[in-house]
């Protein structure tokens, strides 16, 4: 049996697995992600968060998307990871943990978590880049917030349904000179001088999700550049609210960024042998069984 915890950050949901002995290898974690994240036939989630040890940090967070790919960073996932680590006493409420995108600081206070994303540079960002697929033209804004993001502020946001955002996401999320590793896609709307609404198609999930932390940051920074909006910016996602705090560093166009929002523990339990056997290949199931038996 494999223990799991299900959590969500504003509806962006994850399964948390501990791999403190690092017995679960990369390809097995990838297989577990695709097996466990499928909704209806399994537990269902946008991804799995894996807790591993790290040298001079408290811990390392790894995130595997629903399609089995490993992501560099996830803002909502990082907030869930931090709350899990603090609740399980694996790290203090004020902690630093490692990710593929670099070290992340976190401050956990009850259900709210603020994470420090470090510095985000807009030096290589693109603003109002005209993109066309032959049928439509859109001004795109592209930047990296640990992971690549594209932000669109459409002229008629009310016309953009989740289905249309998904189609745009799938059109942009493929290797191109503009997005060599694909991209997340955010369709955003200004609501006031200090608030936005943003809906995100997430790379790796290959669908619109209820919330995206790095997408909220990307949307807020683009809004600050295009419309002069000041920190903090409240970003409404379909699943809840993220608040983005930012300040320019000593380097021009480089910002120190923090992300604030709620996290929720949903469930704890054990993954059943029957369910795992159905969803994993015989080789992966045998290796998982061996890893469990040997601790």
Q: Check residue 265 and give its pLDDT.
A: 97
Domain with CATH 3.10.310.10 in the chain: 2-110+265-293, 120-262
Partners of 278 in the β-ladder: none
CATH class of 120-262: alpha beta
Q: What are the structure tokens assigned to 179, written together?
A: 């997005």
Catalytic residue among 37, 80, 150, 212: 212
- pLDDT of amino acid 122: 96
Determine whether 212 is an active site residue. Answer: yes
- Which of 291, 272, 281 lies closest to 42 in space, CA to CA? 272
- Residue of 37, 74, 80, 150 with catalytic role: 74
Task: State how far the Cα of 215 lies from the Cα of 188, in Å rounded to an integer.
Answer: 10
Domain 2-110+265-293 has CATH 3.10.310.10: yes
37-94 pLDDT per residue, tens: 999 889 999 999 999 999 876 799 999 999 999 999 999 999 999 999 999 999 999 9
Q: Tell me the C-alpha distance between 228 and 225, whole Å.
A: 6
pLDDT at 295 over 70: no
Number of H helices, E strands in the chain: 6, 18
pLDDT in tens, 114-134: 999 989 999 999 999 999 987
- Residue spans of beta strands (DSSP E) within the chain: 2-9, 12-18, 47-52, 59-65, 70-71, 94-99, 102-109, 112-121, 126-132, 137-145, 147-152, 184-190, 195-202, 207-209, 233-237, 240-248, 254-262, 264-271
pLDDT, position 55:
83
In the chain, the percentage of residues whose pLDDT exceeds 90 is: 87
* pLDDT bracket for residue 136 (50, 70, 90): confident
Whole-model pTM: value is 0.91
| pLDDT over 70 at 231, yes or no | yes
pLDDT over 70, % of the chain: 99
């Amino acid at each position: 049996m494999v223990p799991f915890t299900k959590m969500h950050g504003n509806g962006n949901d994850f399964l948390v697995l501990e791999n403190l002995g690092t017995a679960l290898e990369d390809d097995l974690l990838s297989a577990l992600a695709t097996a466990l994240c499928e909704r209806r036939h399994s537990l269902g989630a946008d991804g799995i968060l894996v807790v591993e040890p790290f040298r001079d940090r408290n811990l390392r967070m790894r995130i595997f998307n629903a399609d089995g790919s490993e992501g560099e960073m996830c803002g909502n996932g990082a907030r869930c990871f931090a709350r899990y680590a603090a609740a399980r006493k694996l790290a203090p409420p004020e902690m630093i943990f490692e990710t593929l995108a670099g070290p992340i600081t976190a401050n956990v206070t009850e259900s709210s978590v603020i994470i420090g994303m470090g510095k985000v540079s807009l030096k290589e960002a693109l603003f109002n880049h005209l993109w066309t697929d032959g049928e439509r033209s859109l001004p795109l804004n592209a930047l990296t917030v640990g992971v690549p993001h594209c932000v669109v502020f459409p002229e008629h946001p009310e016309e953009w349904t989740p289905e249309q955002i998904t189609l745009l996401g799938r059109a942009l999320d493929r290797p191109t000179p503009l997005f060599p590793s694909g991209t997340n896609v955010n369709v955003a709307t200004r609501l006031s001088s200090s608030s936005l609404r943003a809906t995100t198609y997430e790379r790796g999930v290959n669908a619109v999700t209820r919330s995206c932390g790095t997408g909220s940051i990307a949307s807020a920074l683009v809004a600050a550049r295009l419309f002069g909006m000041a920190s903090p910016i409240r970003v409404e996602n379909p699943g809840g609210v993220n608040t983005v705090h930012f300040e320019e560093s000593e380097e021009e166009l480089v910002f120190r960024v923090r992300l604030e929002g709620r996290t929720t523990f949903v469930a704890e339990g054990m993954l059943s042998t029957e369910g795992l056997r159905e969803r994993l290949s015989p080789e992966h199931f045998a290796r998982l069984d061996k890893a469990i038996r040997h601790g």
